C-alpha cells in the first residue's frame, strides 16, 4: 500500500487507520510460480517489483504469506511467514482450485520507511531487498497507471489479486 504523496509525508500516528494515509495499490504486475518441491506458490511484483526490481523481479521480496496456521501437532515457519511445514499447508484448501483467498495489506511505505532503510539491523536482515533501496527514498512517489485506490476486498478481487466471493468454508472440529 502506498499514497500519492512522498514517503516522508505518509505519517500514520498511533491509532490512525493506515488506509487513511496509504490507500493505493498496484492492480497488476504480479507474477507467481508454483514450486513443486516446496509445495509453495511464490508471488512477487507489485509496487516493489515495479519500482525497485523491474528488470529482475525474482530478486525482489516474496509477497506470499501464511499468516494463520491452525496449530495441531508439529507446525513451523521455514522462511518467516512465507513458507510453513508441513509443506502441504502452503497450498491451503486443495479440494478445489488452488488460489489466493485473502490478502494482507502491507503498509511498508509509511514515513518510518526512511529510517528503516538506513538502519543497519534492518539492512542485514533483508539484505537482498534493502540493498535495492537508495538514499533519497523520502521523496519517492510510486503513482503510475497501475495505481488504484483501495476501498474494500472487492477491489482486489476485481483485479484478480484474490479469489472473489464463493469460498468453500471448512469447519474445524471442536477440540
**What residue numbers bound the domain in which 142 lies?**
7-158
Alpha-carbon gap, residue 110 to 138, rounded angstroms: 10
Within a domain: residue 2? no
What confidence tens digit (pLDDT) does each residue in 10-25 have? 999 999 999 999 999 9
Residue 162 has pLDDT above 70, yes or no: yes
**pLDDT at residue 103, as a whole number:** 81
Q: What is the DSSP string of 110-156?
A: STTHHHHHH-HHHHHHTHHHHTT--TTGGG----STTEEE--SHHHH
Number of independent structural domains in the chain: 1
Over the stretch 64-112, which tens digit does the pLDDT of each residue have?
A: 776 666 666 676 655 666 666 665 665 654 444 446 667 889 998 999 8
Question: According to the model, what pLDDT value does residue 124 have?
Answer: 59
CA distances from 89 to 92, 147, 171 (A): 6, 32, 16
Helix (H, G, I), strand (E, B) or coil at 62: coil
In a domain, 164, yes or no: no
Q: Is 40 in contact with 64 (CB distance < 8 Å)?
A: yes
DSSP class of residue 26 equals: E
pLDDT in tens, 32-44: 888 777 777 788 9
Predicted local distance difference test score (pLDDT) of residue 95: 43
Half-sphere exposure of 82 (CA within 13 A, CB side): 12
| Residue 75, domain member (yes or no) | yes
Mean pLDDT lowest for which of 63-72, 94-103, 131-140, 165-174? 165-174
Domain assignment present for 72: yes
Domain membership of residue 170 (yes or no) is no
Name which residue leads in pLDDT, 130 or 107.
107
Mean pLDDT, the chain, as a whole number?
A: 77
**Which is nearest to 126 in space by CA: 75, 173, 171, 59?**
59
Give per-residue pLDDT as tens, 141-159. 899 999 999 999 889 989 9
In a domain, 67, yes or no: yes
Over the Cα atoms of the chain, what is R_g?
A: 17
Most confident of 20-24, 57-61, 116-120, 155-159: 20-24
Domain membership flag for residue 143? yes
Answer yes or no: is 173 within a domain: no
- DSSP sequence for 68-120: ----SSS-EESSTTS-EESGGGGG---SS-------PPP-TTSTTHHHHHH-H
Amino acid at each position: 500500500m502506498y499514497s500519492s504523496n512522498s514517503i516522508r509525508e505518509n505519517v500514520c500516528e498511533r491509532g490512525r487507520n493506515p488506509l487513511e494515509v496509504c490507500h493505493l495499490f498496484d492492480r497488476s504486475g504480479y507474477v507467481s510460480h508454483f514450486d513443486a518441491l516446496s509445495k509453495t506458490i511464490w508471488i512477487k511484483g507489485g509496487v516493489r517489483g515495479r519500482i525497485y526490481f523491474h528488470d529482475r523481479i525474482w530478486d525482489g521480496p516474496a509477497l506470499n504469506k501464511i499468516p494463520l496456521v491452525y496449530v495441531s501437532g508439529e507446525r513451523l515457519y521455514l522462511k518467516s511467514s512465507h513458507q510453513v511445514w508441513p509443506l502441504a499447508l502452503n497450498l491451503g484448501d486443495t479440494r478445489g482450485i488452488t488460489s489466493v483467498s485473502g490478502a494482507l495489506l502491507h503498509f511498508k511505505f509509511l514515513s518510518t520507511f526512511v529510517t528503516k532503510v538506513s538502519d543497519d539491523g534492518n539492512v542485514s536482515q533483508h539484505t537482498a531487498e534493502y540493498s535495492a533501496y537508495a538514499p533519497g527514498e523520502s521523496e519517492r512517489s510510486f503513482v503510475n497507471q497501475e495505481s488504484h485506490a483501495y476501498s474494500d476486498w472487492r477491489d482486489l478481487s476485481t483485479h484478480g489479486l484474490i479469489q472473489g466471493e464463493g469460498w468453500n468454508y471448512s469447519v474445524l472440529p471442536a477440540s
